[in-house]
Amino acid sequence: MSKTKTKVSKGNRRFSNKQLMLISAVLASIIILGLVLSFILLQRPNKFSLKAAIIDQIGENYPSDSEMTREFNETSTNILEQAGFSVTYHKRETVTVNFFKELAKYDYGIIILRAHYAKRSSETEVDVFTSEEYSEGLYDYVSRGNYTWEPGKFYFAITPDFIKNLDGSFPKSIIIAMGCWSLKSEYEEMADAFIQKGATVYIGWTEEVDIGHSDNETVRLLRMLLEENKSIADAVSNIAPDWTFPPGSQMTFYPRTNVVRDLKVSDLIADAKASSNLQGMIISFKLAPALCMTFIVFKRKKFLDLACQPL
């Protein structure tokens, strides 16, 4: 007696229970792994950002002028954008105490502080000026400062303690402080405050500096760091001192560790791009199991829907 083989249509073939259990276990493992990787990536501390800010507290006001301000901001923005940064310009009128309160939440990789600094009387600290006129008792961790060319008029100034108490962080940020005494020897509290909040390096001037000189040399610094790929130490050492005000002012950086000396911004940029690529892979990795899950569910119902369903 001959036996007749019954051909099973591929369209009617079903997964066995064991196969479904195995597939479910594999998919569950993939999903869990994807979630763990994404959590690690998102929680990763101090990820450098390809966002830059020019904080122009001085603006067109004395000792600057409209032409100097325009030239500095346009040139700096162009250099930063050519290096792959998105640039935000904060004009003088917006540089208030509340603006600084939010600064550590903006995720800037490079922060250029075109701002006035002032030494505190009989203290080894320098504070950075805002453009907001002073009024007693409004904010914590601020000081009162004035300009010699505006007698009797006072402005809020941001202290190192203000920076230390900010919400957020400066993710491996490079801080370029353009004002007088911004990194005076033995006055490193402001620099250290930014480093404690996650910044990689703080660059500033040891003594008083002319605004025109600071503009020109900051542009040269950006070119050396972003176009010529010089290390922090090499770039800063090639900056011209300012002899306008005795005893002269030099650009320097903090902290002066070997890691910071040898650091190149290109290394930070590569790290930021690698992190972005990894994040994109993880997002795709998380979506793939969702699509497979949808396929299996509808395969059992004998029709196929390619829409991606969230897990």
Across residues 271-284, what is the average pLDDT?
Answer: 60
Residues 170, 206, single domain; the answer is: yes
Q: Within a domain: residue 25?
A: no
What span, in angstroms and rounded, lies between the C-alpha atoms of 53 and 231? 21
Mean pLDDT for the stretch of residues 41-64? 85
Report residue 17's pLDDT band, with 50, 70 and 90 as the boundaries.
low
Q: Based on the domain organization, do 201 and 280 belong to the same domain?
A: no
Clarify whether residues 83 and 222 are in a common domain: yes
Which of these ranges, 74-88, 134-148, 275-289, has the smallest mean pLDDT? 275-289
Cβ-contact 80, 110 below 8 angstroms: yes
Residue 73 is part of a domain; what is its CATH number?
3.40.50
Average pLDDT, the chain: 84
Inside any domain, residue 27:
no
What's the pLDDT score for residue 15?
57
Residue 3 in domain: no
pTM for the full model?
0.78
Tokens of 5: 């083989």
Can you say whether the dihedral through the CA atoms of 169, 174, 176, 182 is positive or negative?
A: positive
Let me know whether 215 and 232 are in one domain.
Answer: yes
Residue of 94, 87, 128 whose CA lies nearest to 111: 87
| Lowest pLDDT segment from 61-75, 97-111, 266-280 | 266-280
Amino acid at residue number 298: F
pLDDT in tens, 195-216: 999 999 999 999 999 999 999 9
Its domain, for residue 284, covers 265-311
In whole angstroms, how far apart are CA 244 and each of 126, 164, 210, 217, 251? 20, 33, 7, 14, 14
| One domain for residues 255 and 292 | no
What pLDDT does 121 receive?
79
Is residue 57 assigned to a domain?
Answer: yes
CA 11 to chain centre: 54
Count of the separate structural domains present in the chain: 2
Confidence (pLDDT) at 298: 42
pLDDT tens digits, 234-257: 999 999 999 999 999 999 999 999
User: What per-residue confidence (pLDDT) applies to 272?
Assistant: 87
Residue 51: its pLDDT value, please? 97
Q: Does one domain contain both 114 and 238?
A: yes
Same domain for 132 and 231, yes or no, is: yes
Same domain (yes/no): 189, 164: yes
Please determine, for residue 2, whether its predicted confidence score (pLDDT) is greater than 50. no
Q: Indicate whether 74 belongs to any domain.
A: yes
The answer to whether residue 17 is domain-embedded is: no
Please give the average per-residue pLDDT across 29-34, as a whole number: 63
**In 10 A of CB 151, how many CB atoms?**
7
d(CA 229, CA 246): 32
